[in-house]
Amino acid sequence: MISGLDPSGGAGIQADIQAVTALGCHPMPVLSCLTVQDTRNVYNATATDPEIIRQQLECLAADSPIHAIKTGALGNAAVVDVLVEFLAAHPDIPLIADPVIKAAGGGDLADEALIARMKERLFRHAEIITPNGIELTLLGGDEDETRAAHNLLEAGCQSVLATGGHGEGEEIINTLYSHDQEPLYFYIERIGGEYHGTGCTLAASIAAGRASGLSARASIAQAQNYVLRAIRHALKVGNGQPVPDRGIPWET
């Protein structure tokens, strides 16, 4: 997994590590950026030296099998370039890319250059990208979910899981758009409220499913159930959004 450090422990690499561990996999965390952040918002961020990330990825791949990759906040466009080079050399590793752009509090986690580089270079390597409603509108250039998702497919994405957590209604509907089939709808109970780090947790859980050998569809279903349970036990960490409790062991 490649994502940023959120020192509140709600989102980013900590969310990834906890979710992947709870789902029975071993996470190998590569840190893309450091943020100044609490449960309310992001106030500052700085990217890791891309050369260190390159060395970390090469070092890990030379030593261990990597069964899936999950990306979150990436810091800057140069980090995307390093990542794309690595993915091109390892085309068989499924990539689940969470296209993180903004924190829930509105703070920026990606500048224009990073957003453009993800669209132009990264997404085509991803088996699934997992935008929330705001990210989908921004990336797909359309307020309509279906049109925005198709714009991304046309731009080279293999599949787009449009997450519905920010919407309304009794159930959350996450929709998987792909090239060769009709959209697949995944329904899950809506608890209500907003939780810090939900998107990270969902994408990391999908990657854990893929790393365990589940299909993309089964990985999404398992991830949704895991996130629902973590939200049910959410922790009041600070004055902002509660944090999903990812520490509860997952029994399959």
Question: In the complex, which residues of this chain contact ligand PLP (CB under 6 A)?
Answer: 3-4, 6, 11-12, 35, 37, 42, 72-73, 100, 103-104, 109, 196-200
Q: Nearest approach, Cβ of 4 to ligand PLP (angstroms)?
A: 3
For ligand PLP, the closer CB: 21 or 58: 21
Q: Write down the least CB distance from residue 104 to ligand PLP, Å.
A: 5
* Residue type at 222 in one-letter notation: Q
Name which of 103 and 223 has its Cβ closer to ligand PLP: 103
Minimum distance of ligand PLP from residue 74's CB (angstroms)? 9
88/119 with CB nearer ligand PLP? 119
Closest contact distance (angstroms) between CB of 105 and ligand PLP is 8
* Smallest separation (angstroms) from ligand PLP to the CB of 133: 11
- Rounded Cα distance between 100 and 76, Å, is 12
The Cα 18–Cα 23 span in angstroms is: 9
Minimal distance, residue 181 CB to ligand PLP, in Å: 27
Residue 61, burial from CB neighbour count under 10 angstroms (0-12, 13-18, 19+): middle
Nearer to ligand PLP, 29 or 58 (CB): 29
Nearer to ligand PLP, 42 or 207 (CB): 42
CA distance 204 to 6: 15
Q: By C-beta, is 80 or 109 nearer to ligand PLP?
A: 109
